[in-house]
Structure 1
Amino acid sequence: MMNEAPGPINFTMFLTMFGERLNGTDPEDVIKNAFACFDKDNTGFINEDQLRELLTTMGDRFTEEEVDEMYREAPIRNGNFDYVEFTRILKHGKKDKDD
C-alpha cells in the first residue's frame, strides 16, 4: 500500500489509501464488526499493541511502518484504539475541530 504513494505521505493521504483499499468492499457496520471480533468485552476499543500484532500477522499484513503511520493520528485513548471512531473516519473523513 505504501509503495502506491507518489512520495512521503501524511495521515490524510494514509486514510485515503486505506479507505480505497476498503472502499466498495464493506459497509461501515461490516468493518466495525470485523474489529469487534477482537473486542471480547464489546467496548469499542482494542489494545493498540494487540491490534498491531493482528495487523502485522494476519490476513493482508501491514508493515510496522504502515501501522506506525496509522497510529500517528488515529483515535487512541489510554493505549486503546477506538475502532468505532476509526471506522467512521475511514468512511466519512475526519471531523472538523468545530464539530
Structure 2
Amino acid sequence: MSDDKEKKSGKKATSNVFTKLPQKLMQEMKEAFTMIDQNRDGLIDVSDLKEMYSNLGSIPGDTVLESMVKEAPGNQLNFTAFLSIFSDKLSGTDPEETLRQAFQMFDADNTGYIPEEYMKDLLENMGDNFSKDEIRQTWKEAPISGGKVDYNAFVAKIKGKEQEEA
C-alpha cells in the first residue's frame, strides 16, 4: 500500500533530486519556488505564473502558461517536481529529447544507430574533440552492437534511465 501512495504522489521517482543538490542551492530554489507560488498552496499553477509574469511586465497567453505547468510530472508543479525540472539544467546535461535530436543529426537514414567508426570520427574531430582516452572511456559505456552505436539506448544511459529490454 505504501508503494501505491508513493507512485501517486510521485515522491519516490523524484526524491533523489534532494540528494543531488547542495543545501545552499536547495534553499535558493525553495525561495524561488515560494516567490512564484503566489497563492501559497504548495503548487505552481497557471494563476501563479500569470501573477509572476505580470510583476515582470509581460503575461504570456494561457496556452503557453498551461504548457509550462504540463511539463511537470502529473501536471502538478510541486516543489519536488520544480527541483526535478531544474536539476537537469543545473547538472549540465541536456534534456533527453535534445540529446536524441543531436544524435539524429548524424543518422541520415533515421535508423536509431550511428556506425561506430563514424561516431569515433565525430568525437575526435567535432566540437570539444575527445582524446583517445576519452573515447576509450566512452566506448566502455556505449551500447555498441554489430559495429553500430544505439544512440537511443546511449541517451537513456546518459540520463540514468536505462532499462532492461525483454
Length-normalised TM-score, structure 1: 0.68
CA-atom RMSD in angstroms: 2.4
Higher relative contact order (CA 8 A, sep 6+): 1
Structure 2 Cα separation of the partners of residues 81 and 73 of structure 1:
11
Larger Rg, first or second structure (1 or 2): 2
Identity of aligned residues (%): 40
How many residue pairs end up in the alignment?
78
Any gaps of 5 or more consecutive residues in structure 2? 1-87
Equivalent position of 2:121 in the other structure: 53
Over 3 Å counting, the alpha-carbon distance change for 1:44 and 1:66 in structure 2 is same
Equivalent position of 1:14 in the other structure: none
Instruction: Give runs of aligned pairs for residues 56-95 of structure 1, distance below 5 A.
Output: 56-95=124-163
Equivalent position of 1:10 in the other structure: none
Structure 2 Cα separation of the partners of residues 44 and 80 of structure 1:
9
Deviations 1:11-54 (A, max 9, x none): xxxxxxxxx9xx43421000010010000010110001000000
Structure in which a larger fraction of residues adopt helix: 2
Over 3 Å counting, the alpha-carbon distance change for 1:30 and 1:65 in structure 2 is same
Structure 2 Cα separation of the partners of residues 48 and 98 of structure 1:
22
Equivalent position of 1:32 in the other structure: 100
Q: Which amino acid aligns with 1:76?
A: I
Instruction: Report runs of 4+ in structure 1 exceeding 6 Å deviation.
Output: none
Any gaps of 5 or more consecutive residues in structure 1? 1-19
Over 3 Å counting, the alpha-carbon distance change for 1:98 and 1:45 in structure 2 is closer
Q: CA deviation at 1:73?
A: 3.5
Over 3 Å counting, the alpha-carbon distance change for 1:33 and 1:68 in structure 2 is same
